[in-house]
Structure 1
Amino acid sequence: MQSYLTSGFLLLSLVLQIGNRCDAAAFAPGDDLVETLQGVEMVHSDLSTQKNMMGSLSVIIVRALGLNGDGLMKTNAVARMWYSSIYHETNEIKSDNPTWNAVYNLGVVETHLPLKVEVWDKDVGKDDLLISCTQYLTQGTHTFTCSGNGQVEVKYSLICEPGLTGSQCEVGK
């Protein structure tokens, strides 16, 4: 009889730890405790994975150099960036060497996704894509450049959420 009480206490404490991710009403006397505990462990593992690879991200689109949008006239330069569903666009600067220093604080993001940056020459009819690149990010503060029809310089800072470490903010060891 004591083993049923111990098993019941263990099961109840696991259900309470998991919270509403487990349906306590689904457990009945006679259920196989091993199968139940394996199911609870799978839910717990899913919760841990959801908290993994998270960090605060700030991006600065610094400048572009040597753009050649229209050939004869200065480029109507604009930079665009995407991180997952987050999108930002700089202001337009009429220059082949624009400096934006546009700062975007994206907040807490999933760190395994790529950052996409493009530079465009805005025209009355159709905009011209000059530079496009995708960069996977790592923890810390870094600068990278992308080339195409000119170059663009981008800085970013990725800070792992508490308890996460490693280049992409994995679960702490």
Structure 2
Amino acid sequence: MELAIAAIGKVAAGLGMSSAGAAAGAAGTAVGGATAAGSGALTALQGFSTALQVLGGLSAGAASARASEQQAVQAELEGGQEQLAGVQRQNKMRRELARVLGQNEVAYSAAGIDLTQGVAADGAARAKQQAAQEISIDQQDTDFRRSLYRMRAQGLRQRAKSERGGALLGALVPVAQFGISVAERG
């Protein structure tokens, strides 16, 4: 626009209209200055807006990553709780075995049956074998559930890393757009 006004001023000066040419030239310079000032203000506002977008994106990514890290810690705690619950279940099974064996010994002793052989010994061996099998199954189940909690925690930590990286990459987009906009304006 300022080039057009300056050209009009030169044409007017060439035709002998020096006051009109001077006025047009002055108007061109004023418009050019206003345009330059407006362009600088626009660039500053776009830069500020871009900075806010970048900060907002980075803050959102960091918050999301912190939430994932907290979920990972929670999963690890749940894994520890599962271990305690497994120990409690297994102790309960052992107490139940001792209770059953004790009742059987009392019953066999009251009937006058020898506890070291025969039916009494076979019954005790079967009860111990069954309890050992149930305890082993429960231990395997507990270990499996704890492994799931550990895998979940590991996945959540990986997600937190990805969220941080995604926020950094996402911050580059508005910066690139700002740079392109400034370059297009010249």
Report the TM-score when normalising by structure 2: 0.24
| Greater relative CO (CA pairs within 8 A, separation 6+) | 2
TM-score (norm 1): 0.25
Quick check: which one's strand share is greater? Answer: 1
- Which of these two proteins has the greater Rg computed from alpha carbons? 2
